Amino acid sequence: MNSPVIAPSVLAADFANLQRDVEMLNESRADWIHIDIMDGLFVPIISFGLPVCEAINRHAQKPLDVHLMIERPEHYLAAFQKAGAEVISVHYEACTHLHRTLQEIKALGCQAGVAINPHTSVSLLEDVIMDIDLVCIMSVNPGFGGQSFIPNTYQKVRDLKAIINRKGAGTLIEIDGGVNADNTPKLMEAGADVLVAGSFVFKAENPKATIAALKDA
């Protein structure tokens, strides 16, 4: 079993010391930096937007994995690519024309991701799986950090992996929400490739050691 790609979520970082926390991630074994963009419409709260993404990019030495929890994400793709995004994930639930949006992300030179909420079936992605570089399975309800992991996620990962294998796609499976040392081995066994961890990393006594432990799980 391969080591997971670890993408710590800066939603759980210290916003007053964001440069310090990004530099800590640079020095750690993290692979990507996950940035949650929330508009207060698609999800209940507002996080941060383009200026903060640009600021993180100025200090980051790891790829930026940008998760757009926003309505009408297709209006902002080019702006986030310019702000440093290398992976852009849009929500299935927010995209009327998902295939077109995926093509637009790829045309910008970014990896194209699709995020799905806990109630959304992975089977809905079957027709576009060949166009998706990454599926972000939300293992909590989007909008708030520190929530409990939803156990049905394991089955969703297995079901999605079956679709990917059947279609011969190269799509990665990312898990976002409630990831910790206890559920990481089961997620990897089910077929996950990328793990987003926020509170578990940034509230740890030693975040770099916590990231290393997830990497070696």
Distance CA 64, CA 217 (A): 23
Q: How far apart are CA 44 and CA 208, in angstroms?
A: 31
Q: Which of 21, 36, 133, 193 is catalytic?
A: 36
Partnered with residue 35 across adjacent β-strands are 66
* Side-chain half-sphere CA neighbours of 200 within 13 A: 23
Using DSSP, state whether 48 is helix, strand or coil: coil
**Catalytic annotation, pick one of 21, 39, 131, 176:** 176
Q: How far from 55 is each of 26, 35, 42, 49, 144, CA to CA, in Å?
A: 15, 12, 24, 10, 22
- Kindly give the residue spans of alpha helices, DSSP state H, lying in 132-191: 153-167, 184-190
- Residues forming a β-bridge with 138: 176
Note if 36 is an active site residue.
yes
216 is catalytic: no
Is 58 buried (19+), middle (13-18) or exposed (0-12) by CB count in 10 A? exposed
Catalytic positions are: 36, 176
